[in-house]
């Protein structure tokens, strides 16, 4: 959108709305009049906005930066802070003159989540959208080196904006097929669907036939006694789940289980233990699938 003469729309109670190209300097001025009781700034969201602005992925969604009747900033502080941090301007919708009555219901609606975005844009079917998004998020974090060991979390700086999510989904071949496959496998191995999907994608790059056999053995419960990697995997997952919520299986931990089992399966190695480590001794690195 190029700079042009502003067109101001007026509401029934004197509110105004217009699209404004917000420079970092203007964003600083707006933050200076931020309302005292505004919500805490969300660093992860600000970082995502910064990446979108600097990567020229920022789009005008119709979500407005809002000021009340006293000229105070009541909604949009994260976007303003992102523009400052990016050192680069961005177009936004600006609404001024929000009344006290409007402030009561501000943000009370249900926001569209990432799954909604994937469905609306046609990047995923509704039945698969949640799983596609989870797989894309974990796959991106793993490839970026943010999931390194069995206790790795994803989130914070590893989170994706909706634009980054769309780019990730479009760049990962067969991700919808992987999501459906992972959802089906979850019935037989209660690991996070995101990890099952990433494992399917990574293993398929190495050997399609071995990938099919690997997951078929999990599905069919084919185990050959002590030292069999699939028996060890099954027992470890069962033990973790029986231990309750305090032993919730995280995506990084699930990747460690799957990748370690895959390597043992491919190399004909006896596997009697899946040891994740501890905070004191250090957590076990996630092996590279071979």
In whole angstroms, what is the distance from residue 129 CA to residue 33 CA?
A: 39
Please give the share of the chain, as a percent, with pLDDT higher than 90.
Answer: 57
Lowest mean pLDDT among 23-27, 89-93, 261-265, 275-279: 275-279
Predicted pLDDT of residue 42: 75
pLDDT tens for residues 218-247? 999 999 899 999 999 999 999 998 876 556
Token duo for residue 226: 């002590």
Is the predicted pLDDT of residue 190 greater than 80, yes or no? Answer: yes
Buried b (16+ CB within 10 A) or exposed e, 164-203: bbbbbbeebeebbebbebbbebeeebebbbbbbbbbbbbb
Residue 198 pLDDT: 97
**pLDDT, position 112:** 55
**In the prediction, which pLDDT does 111 show?**
53
Let me know: does 110 contact 161? Beta carbons within 8 Å.
Answer: no
Q: Flag whether pLDDT at 165 surpasses 90.
A: no
For 59-85, letters b (16+ CB in 10 Å) and e give: eeeeebbbbbbeeebbbbbbbbbbbbb
Q: Is the pLDDT of residue 85 over 80?
A: yes
pLDDT at 109: 45
Q: How much is the average pLDDT of 257-272? A: 97
pLDDT tens-digit series, residues 11-23: 887 899 999 999 9
pLDDT, mean of residues 206-214: 96
- Tokens representing residue 239 in the block: 């033990």
231 contact partners, CB below 8 Å, separation of at least 6: 223, 224, 225
pLDDT at 131: 92
Q: Enumerate residues 6+ apart whose C-beta is below 8 A from 47.
A: 82, 157, 159
* C-alpha closest to that of 60 among 27, 82, 90, 18: 90
Confidence at residue 37, expressed as pLDDT on a 0 to 100 scale: 59
Give the pTM: 0.67
Whether the pLDDT of residue 257 is over 60: the answer is yes
Average pLDDT value for the chain = 86
Rounded CA separation 125/136 (Å): 15
pLDDT range class, residue 120, cuts 50, 70, 90: low
The total of other beta-carbon atoms located within 10 Å of residue 259's CB is: 22
pLDDT of residue 110: 47
Question: What pLDDT does 245 receive?
Answer: 52
Distance CA 201, CA 120 (A): 25
pLDDT band per the 50, 70, 90 thresholds, residue 1? very low
């Amino acid at each position: 959108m190029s700079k042009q003469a502003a067109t101001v729309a007026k509401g029934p109670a004197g509110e105004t709305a217009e699209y404004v190209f917000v420079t970092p300097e203007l964003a600083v001025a707006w933050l200076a009049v931020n309302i005292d009781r505004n919500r805490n700034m969300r660093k992860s969201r600000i970082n995502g906005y910064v990446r979108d602005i600097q990567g020229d992925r920022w789009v005008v969604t119709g979500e407005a930066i809002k000021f009340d009747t006293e000229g105070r900033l009541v909604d949009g502080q994260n976007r303003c802070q992102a523009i400052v941090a990016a050192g680069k301007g961005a177009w936004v919708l600006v609404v001024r003159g929000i009344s006290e009555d409007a402030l009561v219901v501000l943000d009370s609606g249900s926001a569209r989540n990432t799954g909604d975005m994937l469905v609306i844009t046609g990047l995923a079917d509704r039945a698969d959208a949640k799983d596609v998004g989870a797989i894309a998020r974990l796959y991106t974090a793993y490839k970026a080196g943010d999931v390194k060991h069995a206790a790795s979390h994803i989130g914070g700086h590893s989170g994706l904006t909706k634009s980054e999510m769309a780019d990730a989904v479009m760049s990962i071949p067969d991700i919808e097929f992987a999501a459906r496959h992972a959802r089906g496998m979850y019935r037989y191995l209660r690991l996070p669907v995101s990890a099952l999907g990433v494992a399917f994608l990574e293993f398929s790059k190495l050997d399609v036939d071995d990938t099919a056999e690997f997951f078929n053995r999990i599905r069919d419960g084919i185990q050959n006694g002590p030292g069999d990697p699939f028996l060890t995997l099954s027992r470890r997952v069962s033990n973790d789940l029986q231990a309750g919520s305090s032993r919730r299986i995280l995506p990084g931990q699930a990747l460690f289980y799957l990748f370690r089992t895959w390597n043992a399966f491919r190399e004909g190695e006896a596997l009697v233990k899946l040891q994740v480590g501890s905070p004191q001794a250090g957590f076990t690195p996630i092996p590279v699938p071979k």
